[in-house]
Amino acid sequence: MMEYATPAPWEGITPEQLGTGLAERSYLADEGLLVVLHIALKLRRPLLLEGAAGVGKTELAKALAGLLGSRLVRLQCYEGIDVAQAVYDWNYPRQMLYIRTLEAAGAADPGIVDELFGPSFLVRRPLLEAISAEDAIPPLLLIDEIDRADDEFEAFLLEMLADFQITIPELGTIRAATPPIVILTSNRTRELHDALKRRCLYHWIGYPSLERETEIIHAQIPAVTDRLAREAARFVHELREAPLTKPPGTAETLDWVNALVAMGQDHLEPDVVRQTLGAMLKHPEDLERAAEVQASVLGPAGPLQAL
């Protein structure tokens, strides 16, 4: 573990305090997640969160940034992302304007190249912004959906994840005076390389239990009735047992319950369920399978049986 002169502002925070603070921000985390978060903060290690889409990985980073008072710096990964989008670029229009201004004034000199590729013309993208930040509280760097990026970009991250530094050929190596909090998320659309995993702590976020999902619905949607929260959570859990193309995550559950509340529902009714499933399921085949699940778990009067 690297030594830093500046102590982290969250030194001494316990897993229990993390859990309480996140709950106040409507994020309910289990004990295992709280422990790994505590260790990541204590050791200043990047944390890799994997899990199906919609289980709350990105929302955890947002809630944690709010709890710690950190600025959230987010890098959304995608296929083809490169250094210019993720780390740094040069302000070419400003460079050209500077050259023309010097030429017009007759003040151009051989040292102009060093000026053009100096800090004044540097555009800081999310990774460099997080590394070079001078915030009183270190920022939280969220590298979202790293599995969507290419292998080459994943390899580029290794220096930053290991040493909290970035090398820019024109300027040299820039190292964080105080390392940012780093959270990476992956939906596992591809397997990440061991070299990246070695530099991170790891936690898998699965689908919540029936009881926990009911609690999440209540925390995120205060207007929901207890009966609707319980019935909706049970229905979603039955759906996840079906062979769906994309089982609904917690985010989709919340979208659906919000739709039900907007319809004025205080319990599940067959017709309303059928009309609102598009808020949760986005594949025609899944909607067909959901109709089969609905027929098996909804009674003639509407509410779920055997709750």
Q: Where do the H-state alpha helices sit in 141-224?
A: 151-163, 194-198, 210-220
pLDDT value at position 89?
87
Q: Parse the chain into domains and list their residue ranges.
A: 15-79+136-204, 210-295
In CATH, the architecture of 15-79+136-204 is 3-Layer(aba) Sandwich (3.40)
* Structure tokens given for 8: 């982290």
pLDDT value at position 171?
84
pLDDT band, very low/low/confident/very high, at 108 (cuts 50, 70, 90): low
As a whole number, mean pLDDT of residues 121-130 equals: 91
pLDDT value at position 218?
96
Using CB atoms within 10 Å of the CB of residue 39, give its burial: 0 to 12 exposed, 13 to 18 middle, 19+ buried: middle
pLDDT digit string, tens, across residues 145-200:
999 999 889 988 999 999 999 988 888 899 998 899 999 999 999 999 999 999 99
pLDDT band, very low/low/confident/very high, at 107 (cuts 50, 70, 90): low
Calculate Rg over the CA atoms of the chain.
24
Q: Average pLDDT over the chain, rounded to whole?
A: 89
> Percent of the chain at pLDDT above 70?
92
What is the model's pTM? Answer: 0.87
Instruction: Show Cβ contacts of residue 211 under 8 Å, excluding neighbours closer than 6 positions.
Output: none
Measured between alpha carbons, how far is 30 from 176 in angstroms, rounded to an integer?
31
Measured between alpha carbons, how far is 132 from 127 in angstroms, rounded to an integer?
9
Distances (CA, A) of 125 to 72, 152, 217, 293: 13, 18, 36, 46
pLDDT digit string, tens, across residues 228-278:
999 999 999 999 999 999 999 999 999 999 999 999 999 999 999 999 999
Which DSSP symbol is given to 189?
A: S
Residue 172 backbone class (left: φ over 0; alpha: ψ -120 to 50; beta: rest): left
Do the Cβ atoms of 200 and 159 come closer than 8 Å?
no
As a whole number, mean pLDDT of residues 123-152 equals: 94
